[in-house]
Amino acid sequence: MPRFSGGEWRGAFAALLFDLDGTLLDTVRDIALALNRTLEEQGLDPLPEDSVRRMIGRGSPILIERAAAMRGRKLDPPGHAAMLERFFHHYDEVERSDAASARPFSGAADALHRLHGAGFRTAVVTNKHHRFATGLLDRLELAPFIDVVIGGDSCPRRKPDPLPLIAACERLGVPASAALMVGDSVNDVEAARAAGMPVACVSYGYNEGRDARTLDCDVLLDSLIELPPLLERMPQSSRA
């Protein structure tokens, strides 16, 4: 699978850009809960969690559009805007309550700690709104290991457009050629390719219901804990 050998990865990157939902964090239950509260307000039946999982990745506006369509409702612009606002309300409510269940995937927190400690500049580049992304990182105690957060509302265009990745690199002070994108979907792959940077993908992510093995990435990871040794930038004493 790797297009880069271990030797070619050594010292190649100064910065790492991470997707959030499906890569660092398992958030599907919270998203499904907020989405189904929104659907129920509209008199629509709730969606199974597996269906919601396949809708995640292109931002909340597309999530709302897909969910309504699955329940046979076509939204006009005012209706879409109203439903999106209610989704934001419910999602914020979930994340501030005991109902919140979002957690880092196994190995994600340790990998971030080790990579940041090894001197890598790090960013989260997500289509989730910035306030929700930063709130999750704070609550799950991952914020100290992330230097920059680019949300879906931070730039005029979202992934798969390369603009958010380029913006993250600019804020980190590194060229795109010195950054590695780490994601879970075709969305992340397309954005990275357009930005001119390599991309690593995780095998466990959401990926809109697609098989991760079909992704056109440079390496496929079963856990983020595999990333520090692959980059070969960690001190010998701290390697897995």
Number of other residues whose CB lies within 10 A of the CB of residue 144? 11
Going across the sheet that includes 121-125, the strands are 148-150, 121-125, 15-18, 179-183, 199-202, 219-221
- Catalytic annotation present for 19: yes
Torsion, CA 200, CA 202, CA 206, CA 211, rounded to 10: 90
* Residue among 19, 21, 30, 147 flagged as catalytic: 19
Closest CA to 102 of 112, 89, 91, 88: 91
Query: Which residues carry out catalysis?
Result: 19
